[in-house]
Amino acid sequence: MEVEAISQTAEAAGLDQFHLYGHSGGGAIALAYVAAHPKRVLSLAVDEPAYDFLDSPESRSYWREIEAAATLPERERMPAFLKLQLGPGVPLAPPPAGPTPPWMANRPAGVRALATALEQHHVDPGSYRQFAAYWLGMRDRLAGLFPDFTAERYDGLHHLNTSHQAEPGRVAAALRRHWAPKTWRSCAPQSLREPADVSVGRGRSVHRQGA
């Protein structure tokens, strides 16, 4: 995984400590990073992280689905993988008009390599508790593990049309509040796949299913 690449990038920029933000695969790498280097990260914000490294029947089932998608014919592989990122009933958008960019030829292999690395990487859940900086991110499974956890809901969005794409101004404002010095309240970019109400408070996030 590219966990140590974050340290290398920070050191090249002359940063001893820094704020860390990640989406999807980048969100998973950010989680792995704070587990390994909690004292280097001033705050963490993740938007729909691909994985939280907490083993469960749900995650094991998901990896089996990823592996099944990887066995499909090449033309079917990426659409099947993308559908796994969406909730039930959410349609997969058609490809953008125009020619396929050259870098897309490497996309399936890159996705497979990242999925394999995520599945094989292990994090002690207790290591998340060592991260005492301000925290934004994935709700229910991680809320009890981080000292300060807050979530923010973005209605009508999903993994492939997430908050920083659809509402960049709102995300920027949330991150500025999150990064503000001596501020213990924060807002988390997290696009939900089902209608829900979210109550948030320092160190906790409570999810109530909508009526």
Q: Give the total number of structural domains in the chain.
A: 2
Is there a single domain that holds both residue 49 and residue 131? yes
- Direct distance between the N- and C-terminal alpha carbons of the chain, in angstroms, rounded to an integer: 41
Q: What is the mean pLDDT of residues 157-180?
A: 87
Q: Give the residue among 183, 137, 164 at the shortest CA–CA distance from 35.
A: 137
| Amino acid making up residue 96 | P
Domain that holds residue 69: 57-90+103-120
What does the radius of gyration of the chain's CA atoms come to, in whole angstroms? 17
Q: What is the mean pLDDT of residues 21-37?
A: 90
User: Are the C-beta atoms of residues 29 and 22 closer than 8 Å to each other?
Assistant: yes
Is there a single domain that holds both residue 33 and residue 82? no
Has residue 197 got a pLDDT over 50? no
Q: What is the pLDDT of residues 81-104, one digit of tens each?
A: 888 888 888 888 888 888 988 988
Is there a single domain that holds both residue 137 and residue 201? yes
Is there a single domain that holds both residue 43 and residue 86? no
Q: Does residue 3 lie in a domain region?
A: no
So what's the pLDDT on residue 207? 27
Q: Does residue 15 lie in a domain region?
A: yes
Is there a single domain that holds both residue 25 and residue 67? no
Q: What does the alpha-carbon distance between residue 129 and residue 43 come to, in Å, rounded to a whole number?
A: 14
Asked whether the whole model's pTM tops 0.85, one would answer no
**Which region among 6-10, 41-45, 50-54, 130-134 has the lowest average model confidence (pLDDT)?**
130-134
Is there a single domain that holds both residue 137 and residue 180? yes
Is there a single domain that holds both residue 145 and residue 205? yes
Is there a single domain that holds both residue 129 and residue 49? yes
Q: Which residue has the higher pLDDT, 197 or 24?
A: 24
Helix/strand/coil (H, E, C) string of 130-188? CCCCEEECCCHHHHCCCCCCECEEECCCECCECHHHHCHHHHHHHHHHHHCCCCCCCCC
Is there a single domain that holds both residue 163 and residue 64? no
Is there a single domain that holds both residue 67 and residue 136? no
**Which region among 26-30, 42-46, 138-142, 177-181 has the lowest average model confidence (pLDDT)?**
138-142
Is there a single domain that holds both residue 115 and residue 135? no
